Amino acid sequence: MGMKKEGLKLFENGKRIDGRAYDELRPIKMEVGVLKRADGSCYLEWGGNKVLAAVYGPRECLPRHTQDPLKARINYRYNMAPFSTDERVRPGPSRRSIEISKLSKEALEHVIFTEYFPKTSIDIFVEILQADAGTRCAGLTAASLALADAGIPMKSLITACAAGKIDGKVVLDLGKLEDNFGEADLPIAYMPRTKELVYLQMDGDLTKDEFKEALRLALKGCDEIYRIQRDALKKAYEGEVNGR
């Protein structure tokens, strides 16, 4: 965010640098049940992002002293593969990935019926194989599908999407250049039915009206992505209902 590049126009003649309109998402593709060993899994492509999410559990939470006697413990690990970006990412948790993991875990913990599985853990692993801006939203969207695929009881799926500001214009779903040189980014996740936010971060500079507009756009993006999520889940098990 906020880097400067002379002469770079991100928004011109009503179009963005990759040709999208201000309220247009990058292409998104999801597939559920892609990993054999995991209890639930999802592969997601979003623009240039390639993300894998896996869920294990609920399973006995070890070591024992980390158990919660009243509910399942949710672990969420967001990790960028070393080769996922131009400059190699140093393996292991960074301050950034620890923060993203914490906030994502909390968003999911709001929808999972953790009280059904005392003393267990539900482990969610998100691997960013290729990064292209918006990885935390991509990871959370995939993780929510992997949880549903694992049969974990939840209040709702959750869907994530970001809006931001480039060249003074509020737009949906920032791409890589837009993320680097734009003026603001607002990643959110919501529960589709109630439209309440369970993930919320923002950095950059927005007036109150711009903030409202960004929020409106991000919610609109979430609506579209939710439809893709639903279709991906159903597609994975279509044969089982209609017969082959």
Partner 1 sequence: MVDENEIVWLVKKDAVADMIKNGKRSDGRKAYEYRPIEIITDYVKRAEGSAYIKLGNTQILVGVKMDVGQPYSDSPNMGTLITNAELVPLASPVFQPGPPNENAIELARVVDRGIRESKMIDFEKLCITEGEEVWNVLIDIHVLDFDGNLIDAATLAAVKALWTAKMPRYEDGKVIYEDKKDSLPVSKKPVACTFARFGNVSILDPSLEEEKSMDGKITITTTDDGKICAVQKSGITKISVPELENLIDVALEKGNEIRKTYLG
Partner 2 sequence: MKRFVIPGEKLEGRPNAHYYREGNNYYSQVFGILEKKDNFLKIVPLKGKYMPHKGDYVIGIVIDVKYGGVIVDINSSHFAFLPTKNSLNYKDIVSAEVIDIDEVRNATLGNERKLFGGEIIEINPVRIPRVIGKNNSMLKLLKDKTGCSFFVGRNGRIWIKGKNSPILADAIFKIEREAHTSGLTERIEKYLDEMLKG
Question: Which residues would be at the binding site for partner 2 (CB under 8 A)?
Answer: 39-40, 57-60, 69, 111, 113, 117-120, 148-157, 191-193, 230, 233-234, 237, 239-241, 243-244
73 binds, among partner 1, partner 2, none (CB under 5 to 8 A by kind): partner 1
Residue type, 18: D
244 binds, among partner 2, partner 1, none (CB under 5 to 8 A by kind): partner 2
Which positions ≥6 away from 29 have C-beta within 8 Å?
44, 45, 46, 228
Pairing of strands 159-166, 184-191: antiparallel
Q: How far is the CB of 58 from partner 1 (least distance, A)?
A: 16
The span from the CA of 230 to the CA of 152, in Å, is: 16
User: Hey, which bits of 40-139 come out as E strands?
Assistant: 40-46, 49-60, 73-80, 120-130
Pairing of strands 120-130, 73-80: parallel
Nearer to partner 1, 37 or 65 (CB): 65
Q: How far is the CB of 166 from partner 1 (least distance, A)?
A: 15
192 binds, among partner 1, partner 2, none (CB under 5 to 8 A by kind): partner 2
Q: How far is the CB of 136 from partner 2 (least distance, A)?
A: 21
Q: Are 131 and 174 in contact (CB under 8 A)?
A: no
200 binds, among partner 2, partner 1, none (CB under 5 to 8 A by kind): partner 1
Nearer to partner 1, 46 or 190 (CB): 190
